């Protein structure tokens, strides 16, 4: 691809270097070591806190020594998702870049531009001899994607700056000034097994090919949830045939809409043909329902030549699992009455699996209104208890309430308008950002979030608009220049 913007090429070259380093959530050790070594190589002061957050300090350029420090912030970890046919090993394989017209994506995996592009941009800025700026604090946090662990553990005195530029938004020309809070709930249901009745065989029911996506950004698009599709099929089969569940799994990350799910079921051998036909009909039904959002949706059932040592659950527990999953909410629960078009409250039915004779389910709730976040969480906990399951919810993280009178926002709008000749869009988002947590820890922090255009984060369809990287660079440089 012919990249005209010189800094864009530099940023992407460094991003590719970053993308060769394993950095799935909760496994940031190698990227942390890389950043510290990079800082040492270039004579920059760097430090790591007890959870692995990295801070790199960059001295002010001449004339800006008396200016207050500016924090440029992004997160080190990435959501590690891949297509069902990919052999990629996130623990050792580099992310393979694929240029497609004006876009950069990865080869059947997530790209990790969420949020590796922020790291690369900040690092290029730190070494740029032409850019002028106040003292900079490059703050790179761990485990943003699975619980904002790094931001939650951050000590207030780790950073000194009172201006925070979060480079983790996904639309160039849009300034984010607020975000949703969130809580996860873990549900556990003890299970009982029994021997399969005579004449029963095991089959695998699979639901796949769904679009998936970010459980905050894409939740309002009514994309199919593979777990829900799978369980709807199980409910229909169970209605017309004897069925015993043996195993079930679906979903990966708490903040990704599940794309694939499967279940091993024991059924009477002589009913397989009718079940196969029913599944084919259901596939047609689901493909009609989700033709706009999930055109590649697939549903299939296949006899298994061996049971792989599996035994079925008893009839009661097989039914209880299906009832519990179908009863749990998924999708938008309420729209905001304050900001038109903004999802206020939602839930993602994120992950199901059987482990150690227990059904394990993870749900992820979001809301910009904390009281409604708690109410939705209580509802999910109540559904779990009614099924005889245990539900444990985390403390979660706070929402970031918009401050439309922010001096930083006014400055950003002015710089953007002068640079590009148009008005930027200002919004709050339904996704979670670290700004709310960091702002709680650092009183008086003025914050804004922006970033290059990114589509389909948290899925193998993730891609970044290359031209937008240069525009964000130009904006960032001009904004810092104005902060004298």
CB-neighbour burial class of residue 193 (10 A; exposed 0-12, middle 13-18, buried 19+): middle
Whole-angstrom Cα distance, residue 355 to residue 352?
Answer: 10
Confirm whether 144 is a catalytic residue: yes
Confirm whether 434 is a catalytic residue: no
DSSP string, 345-404: EEEEEEEEEEETTEEEEEEEEEESSHHHHHHHHHHHHHHHHHTT-EEEE---B--B---T
* Catalytic residue chosen out of the listed positions 143, 144, 283, 294: 144
The Cβ-side half-sphere exposure at 436, using a 13 Å CA radius, reads 25
Torsion of CA 27, 28, 34, 38, to 10 degrees: 180
Whole-angstrom Cα distance, residue 218 to residue 459?
Answer: 11
Residue 218 tokens, joined: 């894409």
Residue 372 tokens, joined: 């409604």
Rg (CA), the chain: 24
At CB < 8 A and 24+ separation, what contacts does 304-309 make? Answer: 304/201, 304/202, 304/203, 304/204, 304/264, 306/202, 307/196, 307/202, 307/246, 308/202, 308/264
Q: 446 Cβ partners below 8 Å, 6+ apart?
A: 162, 163, 164, 406, 407, 408
Please, are residues 424 and 358 in contact by the beta-carbon 8 Å criterion?
Answer: no
Residues with catalytic roles: 77, 144
């Amino acid at each position: 691809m012919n990249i005209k913007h010189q800094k864009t090429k530099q940023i992407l070259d460094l991003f590719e270097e970053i993308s060769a380093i394993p950095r799935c959530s909760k496994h940031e050790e190698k990227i942390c070591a890389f950043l510290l070594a990079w800082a040492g190589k270039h004579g920059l002061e760097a430090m790591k806190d007890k959870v692995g957050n990295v801070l790199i300090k960059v001295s002010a350029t001449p004339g800006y020594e008396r200016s207050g420090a500016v924090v440029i912030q992004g997160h080190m970890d990435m959501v590690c998702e891949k297509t069902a046919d990919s052999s990629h090993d996130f623990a050792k394989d580099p992310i393979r870049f694929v240029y497609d017209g004006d876009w950069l994506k990865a080869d059947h995996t997530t790209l990790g531009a969420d949020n590796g592009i922020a790291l690369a941009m900040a690092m290029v800025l730190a070494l740029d001899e032409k850019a002028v700026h106040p003292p900079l604090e490059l703050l790179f946090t761990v485990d943003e994607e699975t619980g904002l662990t790094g931001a939650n553990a951050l000590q207030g005195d780790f950073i000194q700056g009172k201006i925070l530029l979060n480079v983790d938004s996904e639309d160039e020309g849009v300034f984010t000034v607020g975000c949703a809070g969130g809580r996860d709930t873990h549900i556990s249901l003890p299970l009982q097994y029994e021997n399969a009745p005579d004449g029963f065989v095991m089959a695998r029911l699979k639901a796949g090919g769904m679009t998936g996506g970010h459980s905050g950004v894409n939740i309002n698009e009514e994309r199919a949830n593979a777990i829900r599709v799978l369980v709807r099929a199980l409910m229909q089969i169970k209605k017309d045939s004897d069925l015993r569940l043996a195993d079930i799994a679906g979903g990966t990350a708490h903040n990704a809409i599940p794309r694939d799910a499967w279940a091993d079921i024991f059924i009477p051998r002589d009913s397989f043909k009718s079940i196969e036909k029913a599944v084919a009909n259901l596939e047609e039904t689901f493909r009609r329902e989700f033709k706009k959002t999930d055109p590649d949706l697939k549903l299939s059932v296949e006899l298994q030549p061996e049971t792989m040592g599996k035994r079925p659950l008893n009839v009661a527990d097989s039914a209880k699992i299906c009832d519990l999953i179908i009863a749990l909410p998924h999708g938008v629960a309420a729209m905001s009455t304050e900001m038109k078009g903004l999802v206020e409250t939602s839930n993602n039915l994120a992950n199901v699996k059987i482990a150690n004779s227990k059904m394990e389910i993870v749900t992820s709730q979001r809301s910009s209104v904390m009281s409604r976040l708690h109410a939705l969480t209580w509802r999910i906990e109540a559904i779990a208890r009614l099924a005889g399951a245990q539900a444990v919810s985390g403390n979660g993280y706070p929402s970031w309430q918009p401050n439309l009178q922010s001096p930083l926002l006014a400055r950003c709008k002015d710089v953007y308008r002068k640079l590009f000749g148009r008005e930027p869009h200002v919004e709050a988002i339904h996704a979670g950002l670290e700004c709310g947590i960091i702002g709680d820890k650092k009183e008086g922090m003025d914050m804004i979030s922006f970033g290059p255009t990114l589509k389909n984060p948290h899925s193998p369809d993730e891609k970044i608009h290359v031209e937008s990287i240069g525009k964000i660079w130009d904006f960032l440089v001009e904004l810092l220049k104005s902060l004298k």
